[in-house]
Amino acid sequence: MENTDPQHQHGEHTPPPVEQDYSKHESNPGPSKEAVQESNSNGAGPVLRWIIPILVVALLVWWFLIKK
């Protein structure tokens, strides 16, 4: 038996639009403009593209050369 919560049902309910006037909709505000349009210029993605391959190569070298 599934545990279904009516609050989490998919349907034709649309989320509230981006909030423009918080004091007017204080009881049920939508997301702020900054939350929706946040830039990701300083994210972890570019760093992880370099760190993960280096770690994989280092672990392979350790596995094949040192772990005899």
pTM over 0.85: no
**pLDDT reported for residue 5:** 63
Distance from CA of residue 29 to its chain's centroid? 21
pLDDT at 59 over 90: yes
Backbone dihedral angles phi then psi of residue 47, each to the nearest 5 degrees: -70, -40
Q: What's the rounded Cα separation, in Å, for the pair 37 and 3?
A: 34
Question: Which pLDDT tens digit goes with each residue over 19-51?
Answer: 677 677 677 777 767 777 777 677 788 888 899
Confirm if 22 and 29 have CB atoms less than 8 A apart.
Answer: yes
Question: Which pLDDT tens digit goes with each residue over 3-21?
Answer: 666 666 666 667 777 767 7
